[in-house]
Structure 1
Amino acid sequence: MLLSYGLFNDHADGRVVSKAELSEKLSSNAEFEEMIAEQRATVDTTYKQIMSFDPKVQAVFLENDIKNSLSSIKSNYQRKAYDQRYKTFLQVSQLYNDLFYNRRELKGNNSDIENLNKSLEDCKLSTRQLRATMGNQSR
């Protein structure tokens, strides 16, 4: 009897929770856990795609795959936005979206740095050659 009182009594406002409400809550929790299990593969795959994405590769489908995966993750939240637990899907989607664009920007910046370093080396080589040529002409 004490166990059933503990299970069915909501101590916050003194209201008694019915078996139907408890059953609905347990069903809702099971549904949420199932959704997490289903989406874990999508989340993991999306992360791997983002980490291996190379903007130098001209393959629009790779970027579209990542964007579609992010939309798929976000849609889980949109289907049950009233349930705060599903907000984790929205947050994962936003986090990965930021990660994707930041990594793309970073790789672009690193590529620019490499190109500028090559140009600098070319300039230094040209300067040395010009100095050598000017030194030979003045003799």
Structure 2
Amino acid sequence: MTPTTHPPVKPQKIQELFPDAIISKITPASKHPRYNYDGFNPGRRVLEAGHVRFPGRRPFGVQTIYERDRAITVRDGTRLYADIFRPVTSDTQPVPCILPWSPYGKTRTGPQNYDFMAPYRAGIALDRTSSYEKFKAPDPAE
């Protein structure tokens, strides 16, 4: 845990300092209306060329391996979990890696996606995104 310069504040203290503050419990992601959390499901499957996640969405142009919740162990032993999209040919022929990172989760898991964040999907047509994209990251169907 990272040390802080301030001791933790209990909700009662916050209420004393800010009497008009409304304190509510955070809704779990699995029950939140704008989160699309599908649970932790490590696995691998092949998305065929032309695959669409939902009708009207952008299709994949080539056969793509989708590895969901793949563990990546970093130097200190911590495991990070990523969704990996790569062409089927990458099993035998190396391909470069694009590693987008964001604080917004991965593969359509939170409210920071075009369906919720701005009116009319911020002007981005539905068929321009695959629904596997993550805000501020490339769409794997591109």
TM norm structure 2: 0.26
Q: Which has the higher strand share?
A: 2
Q: Which has the higher helix share?
A: 1
Highest RCO, 1 vs 2 (Cα 8 Å, sep ≥ 6):
2
TM norm structure 1: 0.26
